[in-house]
Amino acid sequence: MPLAPERLASARSDHMEVLRGSRRPESFKAGLSRLFGRDLILLHPPSVYDFRKRGIMFGPISDVIPSTPVFEMYPMGLTTIAGRLEEEGFNVEIVNIAYRMLSDPGYDAEAEIAKLAPLAFGIDLHWLPHAHGGIELAKLVKKHHPGTPVIVGGLSASYYYEELLGYPWIDMVMRGDSTETPMLQLMRALRFGGTLADVPNLAWKAADGTVTVNPFSHVPSQIDDIPLPNYSYVMRSVLKYGSLANVVPFEDWLDYPITAVLTSRGCTQDCSICGGSRSAYRKICNRTRPAFRSPETLIADILRIQEFSKAPIFLVHDIRQGGKAHTERFLSLLAQAPIENELVFELFFPAGDEYLGRIARAVPRFSLEMTLETHVEALRRLNGKLACSNAEIEATIASALSNGVNRIDLFFMVGIPRQTTADVLGSVDYCRSLLERFGSDKRLWFFIAPLGPFLDPGSQAFEHPERYGYRLFCKSFEDHRQALTAPSWKHMLSFETDTMTRDDIVAATYEASARLARAKRDYGIIDAATCREVEARIATARAVMSEIDDLEQLPEGPQRDARFAAVKRRVEAMAPRDVHAKEWLKWPIRRRFATLPRLGKTVVKLLFAESYLFLFKRLRLVLGRRATAR
């Protein structure tokens, strides 16, 4: 059902004539609804649309992130698109359909979509695990609003843009990692009747199905003009649109309001399994070098967050990627800034007293994250992440501990190139050796999880599977969409390797997780009861996985259905976690939100901002005065 230009035009002119005043509003009420109506609604899909019905055994695929397997966290970029457009008078609302469906069993996503009436809908297809939910939402939008454009965007959409335009429910793909300005240009074209051909980065479909791919020309090297994420927009939108649930980023965020600050778009590293690596960004986003956010902007973002949250702030990507001068400037500004929250730093390279000591002196509390993937140095070199020696890793840990780090999280992964089951289990022994060496220091935390459910498209391993020993079960977007409806995470895995089959990956993940729990117990990191609980959960997960395997062999019929129903109940009882308790991911906090007076001040500021935008931007837009995109 491609969008006919005449339908697009009529939706647009209908909306616009009244807004511009060239046609008499049908009624005062209708006029008001046009003034306060939404121009763009950004929908965040669940991974699998009907997850509430299906009872899929998602396993540990989201165990090491705050989201559940529904992947209810929306891309931070939705807030920056919305914030940018609102600055120019557009009304943009984010509706986190995934979170709404998860938090309220009675929430009817279709009814919600049916009653919305924006000028356009945006759906994020940033993470490929949303392939199923994203397409289902697009279908629902088209069912209820056939004349309204559906735009998708994000890293996965940018990779698969041609294929996505083949679905009848998708009209446009906005490509790239920085779409705020092109989206503004697109919304202006939709509202004021400009031509789509002028919108950079847009790939779109005409009524006859012809696809036009506009030049991929908007790849800014400087992104300091936007807060990333735009939390002010999020809070203002709660006041403006009256729904907190629509913008909650993940299930228990209100209990644990951790936030993030993105330090760059793009990456200097070229890890083989990462779809956000240097070469992946070149391929997917036409980006040849990262856009680093300036130290000034990063500090401003941190201070803005402190106005409402007291929980840790996670700085995404290693600051040191920006080079010596950049790091130096950041550290000296950090030392002068009134930092109150705990900051969490990612390490892409080893670090010593010089770096960690300065961080320790500048902030009240800090934690570190290192995605080691494996203790095997040769495998790390092949993968390209932390391609240093274990001695350097251990020196980093020693330095962090002596500089008073609050916690160091070390992440290990199952399914990386050339890794064997023995390597996976060896990583647990390595964790034991670290606990031994560092005297069971309770600040050391270890996680092990599978690479899954998918190998990232655009990563070196995806693009050259034979070079890295991968066999891919899924290549196209559609392959991945279908894989998401598989009954268990084993069948969902989009790959296996020369050294580990899907069965091996599942078995090694559970075995290593159980061993890791025992190692933590033996060194007093967790107590015996917690360890027993983890082991019991793993035992149930293994039993359910093999039951699903058996069921797969049964012929269709009532017997199979009944057994599936029983398995579904067991899966639901285990959800949302498989191995790791989400509590383990949390850096302990003393307070969640800023004090009431401070929150009050923030709200007043937001109300002023909203009034300004309404008076000087919204009214101007509604009266039809056109401005050009910056």
- CA angle centred on 4, ends 3 and 6, rounded to 5°: 135
Our CA dihedral for 208, 209, 214, 218, rounded to 10 degrees, sits at 130
Neighbours of 522 (CB within 10 A): 15
Give CA–CA dist 283/152, Å, rounded: 18
Q: What are phi and psi of 346, to 5 degrees?
A: -95, 140
497: three-class secondary structure by DSSP: strand
CB 252 within 8 A of CB 103: no
Of 81, 219, 258, 363, which one interacts with ligand B12 (CB under 6 A)? Answer: 81
The beta-carbon contacts of 195-200 under 8 Å, at least 24 apart in sequence, are: 196/172
Neighbours of 565 (CB within 10 A): 10
Helix residue spans in 104-254 (DSSP H): 109-115, 131-144, 155-159, 161-164, 180-192, 231-241
Asked if 179 touches ligand B12 (CB under 6 A), the answer is yes
Nearer CB in complex with ligand B12: 16/78: 78
Q: What is the nearest approach in angstroms of ligand B12 to the Cβ of residue 266?
A: 7
Asked if 293 touches ligand B12 (CB under 6 A), the answer is no
Asked if 444 touches ligand B12 (CB under 6 A), the answer is no
Q: What is the nearest approach in angstroms of ligand B12 to the Cβ of residue 163?
A: 13
Q: What is the nearest approach in angstroms of ligand B12 to the Cβ of residue 576?
A: 12
Of 122, 149, 200, 487, which one interacts with ligand B12 (CB under 6 A)? Answer: 122
* Per rule CB under 6 A, count of chain residues that contact ligand B12: 43
Q: What is the nearest approach in angstroms of ligand B12 to the Cβ of residue 429?
A: 25
Give CA–CA dist 142/121, Å, rounded: 10
Asked if 491 touches ligand B12 (CB under 6 A), the answer is no
Q: What is the nearest approach in angstroms of ligand B12 to the Cβ of residue 181?
A: 9
308-337 positions binding ligand B12, by CB under 6 A: 316
Stretch that binds ligand B12, among 119-127, 237-245, 496-504, 510-518 (CB under 6 A): 119-127
Whether the CA torsion 274, 278, 284, 290 is positive or negative: it is positive
Asked if 80 touches ligand B12 (CB under 6 A), the answer is yes
Stretch that binds ligand B12, among 75-83, 297-305, 425-433, 556-564 (CB under 6 A): 75-83
Stretch that binds ligand B12, among 104-112, 145-153, 335-343, 542-550 (CB under 6 A): 145-153
Residue type, 239: L
Whether the CA torsion 213, 214, 219, 223 is positive or negative: it is negative
Q: What is the nearest approach in angstroms of ligand B12 to the Cβ of residue 160?
A: 9
Of 128, 360, 370, 431, which one interacts with ligand B12 (CB under 6 A)? Answer: 128
Instruction: Return all residues near 244 (Cβ < 8 A) that are at least 6 apart.
Output: 238
CA nearest to 64, candidates 496, 411, 554, 461:
411
Q: Are strands 313-316 and 343-346 parallel, antiparallel or unpaired?
A: parallel
Per-residue string for binding with ligand B12, 151-170, x by CB under 6 A? xxxxxx--------------
Per-residue string for binding with ligand B12, 29-68, x by CB under 6 A? -------------x------------------xx--x-x-
228: three-class secondary structure by DSSP: coil
Nearer CB in complex with ligand B12: 85/508: 85
Q: What is the nearest approach in angstroms of ligand B12 to the Cβ of residue 199?
A: 11
CA nearest to 127, candidates 370, 458, 489, 487:
458
**Residue number with the smallest Cβ distance to ligand B12:** 77
Q: What is the nearest approach in angstroms of ligand B12 to the Cβ of residue 443?
A: 21
Nearer CB in complex with ligand B12: 77/227: 77
Of 49, 51, 58, 127, which one interacts with ligand B12 (CB under 6 A)? Answer: 127
Q: What is the nearest approach in angstroms of ligand B12 to the Cβ of residue 135?
A: 14
CB 17 within 8 A of CB 24: no
- CA angle centred on 201, ends 195 and 205, rounded to 5°: 55
Nearer CB in complex with ligand B12: 311/531: 311
552 Cα distance to chain centroid? 32
Q: Which tokens is 386 given?
A: 């932390």
Q: What is the nearest approach in angstroms of ligand B12 to the Cβ of residue 559?
A: 34
Our CA dihedral for 307, 313, 317, 318, rounded to 10 degrees, sits at 100
Of 180, 423, 504, 511, which one interacts with ligand B12 (CB under 6 A)? Answer: 180
Asked if 183 touches ligand B12 (CB under 6 A), the answer is yes
**Residue that has been written with the tokens 């498989």 in this structure:** 578
Stretch that binds ligand B12, among 172-180, 230-238, 324-332, 350-358 (CB under 6 A): 172-180
Give CA–CA dist 456/472, Å, rounded: 11
Stretch that binds ligand B12, among 147-155, 385-393, 535-543, 573-581 (CB under 6 A): 147-155
Q: What is the nearest approach in angstroms of ligand B12 to the Cβ of residue 486?
A: 15
225-284 positions binding ligand B12, by CB under 6 A: 260, 262, 265, 267, 274-276
Instruction: Return all residues near 62 (Cβ < 8 A) that are at least 6 apart.
Output: 68, 69, 71, 576
Asked if 422 touches ligand B12 (CB under 6 A), the answer is no
Q: What is the nearest approach in angstroms of ligand B12 to the Cβ of residue 336?
A: 27
Residue 152 Cα distances to 309, 327, 443, angstroms: 31, 35, 42
Of 8, 16, 56, 76, which one interacts with ligand B12 (CB under 6 A)? Answer: 76
Of 301, 342, 373, 456, which one interacts with ligand B12 (CB under 6 A)? Answer: 456
Q: Which tokens is 217 given?
A: 């020309």
599-618 positions binding ligand B12, by CB under 6 A: none
Which residues are at the interface with ligand B12 (CB under 6 A)? 42, 61-62, 65, 67, 71-73, 75-78, 80-81, 122-124, 126-129, 151-156, 174, 177-180, 183, 260, 262, 265, 267, 274-276, 316, 456-457
